[in-house]
Amino acid sequence: MSVYILIITSIVLLLMFFYIIFLSAKKELHYVTIALTLELLIWSISVLVGHFFQENANIFAFMDNFTYIGAAFVPPTLVLLALAYRKQFAGFRKENYLLLLIPVLTILIIFTNDYHHLFYTSYSFQTGYILGPYFYIYAVYSYGCLLFSMIMLSYSAIKASGIMSAQALLILLASIIPTCANIGYTFGFPAFSVYSTPIAFTITLVLYLISMFRFDFLKVVPIATQTVINRISDCFVLLDEDLHLVDYNRAFSNRFLAKVQVQKGLKLSEVFHSVALSDEQQESIFNNIDSAFTEGEVRTEDLAVKGETTYYYSVEYTPLLEKGQQSAVVILFRDVTQHVLDLQILQENQAVLLERERLASLGQMIGGIAHNLKSPILSVSGGIDQLRYLVEEYQSSIGDEEVTEGDHHEIARDMNGWLAKMKVQVSYMSDIITTVKGQAAQFNEKDRYPFTIKDVLKRSQILMQHSLIANNCILESEVTIDPLKMIYGDINSLVQILDNIIENAIQSYDGRGGSIRIVVEQVGKDARFSIVDFGEGIAPAVQKLLFKEMTTTKGKHGTGLGLYMSYSTVKGLFRGNMWFESTPARGTTFFVQIPLATE
């Protein structure tokens, strides 16, 4: 009966050997299993051949020795299997070869036993063996390897999935069977024969394979790694090439598997049934996984999962290579919810600061406009009074014989003179209103159209006139470029930028008054505006922060948005550049360089 069981065992081993050999994506742990299967196959076949040649003492003795080629290597191979299962074995290291020292030495001693009798002191086909001293070294080593491997495998399975899990129970059972068979055969217990040990080990291997392919024995993340990833607050999931869940951490389970029965081997599409993801989001995830597999490169995307609470994730897809092939992909859902919320608050606060800056600029501009309109309004009002006086004088002269024709012409000339003066003032008022309309009516509008350098300087001069006079400052212009050269963009934004720099130049004199120069020149295909003052300059500590942060030297009277936004507008809207040079106590020059419009 035992012979037939051993024949079946050999056939099973042979089938398992070829099945694992022909797997498309093998890992290092598969190769250890292949080695174990081959060793058990050699052991079983050797015992079978020895059984069928019992009458031939030489062949029987040779096959009995030959069984140790399998039997001697099985215990250390089981140790390698246990190490691979626990530590994510990635190939032999130098110290692993030491495990093979005793098996190799055992084979040499067995086949040369006639010369030294270290393994068997004597051997008789009728009376059996008398064991030599080396046999006990071999036995202690083999049982030590078996005990170590069984304990480590059982501990790892229990640690990974719990003592009552199917995987843990299978491995515990697989560990007990060969141990009992070896002890029974060694001590000569009834019903245990030379066939018992290879049959027992084959059963063990079958149980391991069931655990391997049914419960992902070879896909479990090591215990140490599992402990680490469970403590990660971000969601971690490991998928195989068929998009089954190989492993995941507690964060992923709590966040994504709350409404799904938690188990490894679940397809990713089944997980999505419990998560509030749109069809487009699911399609994007599958596309990124596919790209990570096919291209072998890390992919990233942003994902918003809406439910009772909306979570925002930065998702990273990392393919894992095994022997040059993509065998798995790690998906890390990095929780950026708090970052997104903080960013929203920051944007809201920035919008408030921008609005304050806009209102402050409008208030300053309206104050200047009111002052600028005062003089022309007074002039027009005076002209109207003079015209009324001349009209009354003309009416009283009608029918007066003393009023000559020349007197009538003189009155007409005076009236025309006052009309001409009023026309100049009205034209000036029209320019102011046009400028104000451009700056105030659509303050945030970013229309792009061509305008001349002359238009920019004219509007800037009008808007800054009041502030210059109020602070005893003089604005001098030096234009070496053709003032009719065109710039493409939003004239209102550029005027606002120049006015902001001129206002800073005025404030650098701290009310003492001074000279400010604006130089406009052509540099290659660009127009360069240089605003020069000879005020206090900018402290070195502040210089490092300008354009990078919302920094101000005006204390509570400034927001720091002026230059910060000016720099962003020059770079983003005009595709230009903005920089400065400053020496404390000597003055500052700001440069704004913008491409000229092409014909």
Q: How confident is the model at residue 521 (pLDDT cuts 50, 70, 90)?
A: very high
Question: Which stretch, 286-295, 373-382, 565-574, has highest mean pLDDT?
Answer: 286-295
**Mean pLDDT across 561-581:** 81
Average pLDDT over residues 566-573: 81
Tell me how far apart the alpha carbons of residues 203 and 424 are, in angstroms, rounded to a whole number. 110
Task: Give percent above pLDDT 90 in the chain.
Answer: 13
pLDDT of residue 572: 76
Please enumerate in sequence order all residues whose Cβ is within 8 A of that of 141, keeping only pairs 6 or more positions apart, or say none: 75, 102
pLDDT for residue 498: 93
Residues 554-558: contacts with CB within 8 Å, 24+ apart? 554/507
Q: Hey, what amino acid is at 232?
A: I
**Among 328, 165, 333, 320, which Cα is nearest to 256's?**
333
pTM exceeds 0.85 for this model: no
Residue with the larger pLDDT of the pair 455 and 554: 455
The Cα-based distances of 463 to 199, 391, 434, 438 in angstroms read 99, 37, 11, 11
pLDDT at 117 over 80: yes
* Range of lowest pLDDT (138-142, 321-325, 330-334): 321-325
Residue 77: HSE in the Cβ half-sphere, 13 Å Cα cutoff = 23
Provide the token pair at 526.
Answer: 């660009």
What average pLDDT does this structure show over 449-471?
Answer: 89
Total residue count of the chain as it appears in this document: 599
3-state secondary structure of 151: helix
Phi, psi for 247 (deg, rounded to 5): -160, 165
In 3D space, the residue among 541, 531, 529 whose CA is nearest the CA of residue 483 turns out to be 529
What are the structure tokens assigned to 300, written together?
Answer: 């990233």
Average pLDDT for 4-18: 74
What is the tens place of the pLDDT at every residue in 219-272? 444 445 556 666 777 888 888 878 888 778 877 777 776 655 556 677 888 777
pLDDT the model gives residue 238: 85
SS (H, E, C) 469-501: HHCCEEEEEEECCCCCCEEEECHHHHHHHHHHH
The residue whose two tokens read 């600061």 is 353
> In this model, does residue 352 exceed pLDDT 60?
yes
Q: How far apart are CA 182 and CA 149, in angstroms?
A: 15
Looking at per-residue pLDDT, the higher value among 166 and 424 belongs to 424
Scan for tokens 């005062």, then name that residue.
Answer: 374
pLDDT at 356 over 80: no
Binned at pLDDT 50, 70 and 90, residue 595 comes out as very high
d(CA 470, CA 511): 9
Beta carbons within 10 angstroms of residue 110's beta carbon: 21
Query: Is the pLDDT reported for residue 290 higher than 60?
Result: yes
Place 492 in a pLDDT band, splitting at 50, 70 and 90: confident
CA 117 to chain centre: 67
Match 């607050």 to its residue by tokens: 233
Residue 194 binned pLDDT confidence (cut-offs 50, 70, 90): low
> Which of the residue ranges 295-304, 517-526, 530-539 would you say has the lowest mean pLDDT?
295-304
> What number of CA atoms fall less than 13 Å from residue 53's CA on the CB side?
15
Q: What is the pLDDT of residue 220?
A: 41
Q: Which are the contacts of 38, defined by CB distance < 8 A and separation ≥ 6?
A: 17, 70
pLDDT at residue 350 is higher than 60: yes
Going by pLDDT thresholds of 50, 70 and 90, the confidence category of residue 364 is low
Q: CA triplet 363, 343, 494: central angle to 5 degrees?
A: 35
Spell out the residues 6+ positions from residue 202 whose beta carbon is closer than 8 angstroms to its own. Answer: 9, 12, 13, 40, 44
The SS3 call for residue 538 is coil
Q: How far apart are CA 106 and CA 80, in angstroms?
A: 19
What three-state secondary structure class fits 334? strand
Nearest to 224 by CA among 85, 33, 27: 85
Report the DSSP beta bridge partners of residue 515: 474
Please tell me whether residue 507 adopts helix, strand or coil conformation: helix
Has residue 399 got a pLDDT over 70? yes
pLDDT at 524: 92
**Per-residue pLDDT, 261:** 58
Indicate whether 23 pLDDT > 80. no
Mean pLDDT within 356-367? 62
Type of residue at 287: N
Which has the higher per-residue pLDDT, 194 or 333? 333
Round to whole Å and give the CA distance between 219 and 225: 13
Which of the residue ranges 283-287, 443-447, 558-562 has the most confident prediction, judged by mean pLDDT? 283-287
**Cα distance between residue 493 and residue 484, in whole Å:** 19
Summarize the confidence of residues 151-173 as an average pLDDT: 66
Place of tokens 């024969």: 193
Question: Sorting pLDDT into bands at 50, 70 and 90, what band is 526?
Answer: very high
Identify the band that residue 457 occupies on the pLDDT scale cut at 50, 70 and 90: very high
Q: What pLDDT does 371 receive? A: 62
| Residue range 64-91: mean pLDDT, rounded | 76
pLDDT value of residue 519: 96
Residue 291 in this model has a pLDDT that exceeds 80: yes
The pLDDT value given to residue 556:
38
The predicted pLDDT at position 125 comes to 53
Q: Which of 118-122, 137-141, 368-372 has the lowest mean pLDDT?
A: 368-372
